[in-house]
Chain A
Amino acid sequence: MTMGRSAIGYYFKETIDSLVRNNWLSLASIGVVTVSLFILGCFLLVAINTSAIINTLESMLEINVFLESNLDQSEIKHLNEQLKFLPGVSEVEFVSREKALESMLTSLGSEKDITDNLDENPLPDSFRLKTKNVELAPQIAANIYKFNGVSNVIYGQKIVERLLVVTHWIRTTSLTSIIVLGLAAVFLISITIRVSVFFRRKEIGIMKYLGATNWFIRFPFLLEGLVLGFSGALLASIIVYLGYTIVIDKIAVSMPFLPVVAQIDKLAPVYLGLLVLGLLIGAAGSSISVHRFLKV
């Protein structure tokens, strides 16, 4: 079939007519798409930022393993090997008690005289570990604690645990609401399209008599669904974008130490993803109705 310009004009005119005719339903569909994709957008931004925070923490976070004072060289070496081969551990560094004291003195600087009075080094030997993934830290620390010769294991327990709980909670609640709202959006769009089909049933009958192909008849309805989905997605993207700009401005003032993701190359996929998802929701919603109600 040759698709003349008249056909394309026809498609767009029909689509716009339908959208205007079903204005309340259209608005409701767009609204639900907007809300679900808005939540998804927020979730993605939060996820991107927490992973940035976790990355920063990861580079800072280390596990300090303090050793008992009565170990000999071979025992220390043996422990070193054990730690190195522990799954999830990326780096192991031995810090002798002399070195620990030295770095402590350096960091104390001018207050050096406090330690001048010490006749003996009070610090134990220790290992400084880096993990491949912060989430593994609690597990690894618990394992190490059971090793012979280890007196104590210290790491940023509270921060990590809290962060993990928060991200987990955010993930589950937003994913659940996104799925529920996404399905609602698909359903509402399919109803909107069903109403459009109903309004145009007479025309559809005439089109069949005039030799219109099934795809020609279906296309404006698919287009209507795509327009609904895309409009909702566009609206969601704009709201998320503006909201995020405001939020990062606020954070830059109140919590400048937080590593906020603001680079456009990291954020663009989020907005693009929302738009694509909007189109998919629209396509899904209209396909359902077009195939069920336009048996031609």
Chain B
Amino acid sequence: MVRLYNVTKIYKNNSVALNNVTLHIKKGDFVFLVGPSGAGKTTLVKLIFREDLPTRGQIVFNGKNVVRMRPGEIPFYRRKIGMVFQDFRLLPQRTIYDNVAFALQVTGTSNHWIKKLAPEALKVVGLEGKEKMRPEQLSGGEQQRVCIARAIVNNPLLLIADEPTGNLDPGTSCDLMNLFQEINGRGTTIVMATHAWDIVDSMKKRVVALSGGKLVRDEESGAYDHGA
């Protein structure tokens, strides 16, 4: 589904964030992106989301070249990808329901569909009954669920999460991983950048490891550390 060919990203200050990375993420995959801080995980995710362009190399999403995409196509491309952020990025003045519905509104979905899809997504993440609350009235784990509901509400092909458990306690993280697994079970491809070695080790999913911008390891049902 997503193919990276010799992707190199050098930022303006000459720091090499990604170095000649070639990678194929298949439909239905559940990929953990691991590596020490500064390895280039966030950079990789940003390039796939077309938030930034690679210095060299190509990225292809379902046969479509992401690097050579016209600016006008970018919004429509992004609708195929759900993004979950470590810092949630919810709208504080709006209710939970409105935050999730927002993803549908901005893509021009009719009210009829919003009324159907938004509650469904909230149900999937287990937040029924909290629709009218505002983000600040929720715990971190619950806010992360709102963010996930918003990311999956328009049924994306790919769900990208950059350190989604970064601020959560182990128990909450575990619940969240079950949720991701469930979403993956519905056919959504998932890419998750994380430092949570215990989660990676227990899930036994594909592990892609970066180090200093290089792809150093790619294993089916791998572990956080090599040989662990």
Contact = CB atoms under 8 A, between A and B. Distances in A.
B114 interface: yes
28 contacts: A2-B108, A2-B109, A2-B110, A4-B109, A4-B111, A5-B111, A6-B101, A6-B104, A6-B105, A6-B108, A6-B114, A7-B108, A10-B105, A10-B106, A202-B89, A202-B91, A206-B91, A206-B102, A209-B83, A209-B89, A210-B79, A211-B107, A212-B106, A212-B107, A213-B72, A213-B76, A214-B71, A214-B72
Interface in A199-216: 202-203, 205-214, 216
Q: Is the interface of A mostly helix, strand, loop or mixed?
A: helix
A1 interface: yes
Interface in A1-45: 1-7, 9-10
Given A203-B91, A211-B75, A216 B108 contact: yes
A210 B111 contact: no
A206 B51 CA distance: 12
Interface of B: 49, 71-72, 75-79, 83, 89, 91, 101-114, 150
A211 B104 contact: no
B77 to A, nearest CB: 8
Given A209-B78, A210-B150, A211-B78, A1 B110 contact: no
Q: Classify chain A's interface size.
A: 20 to 34
B114 to A, nearest CB: 6
Contacts of B89: 202, 205-206, 209
Q: Which interface residue of A202, A203, A205, A210 has the most chain B CB atoms within 10 A?
A: A210
Contacts of A205: 89
A17 to B, nearest CB: 9
Q: Is the interface of B mostly helix, strand, loop or mixed?
A: helix
B106 A210 contact: yes
Interface of A: 1-7, 9-10, 202-203, 205-214, 216
B41 to A, nearest CB: 18
B44 to A, nearest CB: 17
Given A209-B83, A210-B150, A7 B105 contact: yes
A5 B110 CA distance: 6
Contacts of A5: 110-111
A1 B91 contact: no
Contacts of A203: 91
Given A4-B110, A5-B110, A213 B105 contact: no
A207 B78 CA distance: 11
A58 B5 CA distance: 83
Contacts of B150: 210
Contacts of A216: 75, 106, 108
Given A203-B91, A216-B108, 16 more contacts: A3-B108, A4-B108, A4-B110, A4-B111, A5-B111, A6-B105, A9-B111, A205-B89, A208-B75, A209-B83, A210-B79, A210-B150, A211-B107, A214-B71, A214-B72, A214-B75
Contacts of A4: 108-114
Contacts of A209: 49, 78, 83, 89
Contact of B106 (A2, A9, A211): A211
A210 B81 CA distance: 9
A6 B103 contact: no
Contacts of B71: 214
B157 to A, nearest CB: 13
Nearest to A207: B106
Contacts of A206: 89, 91, 102
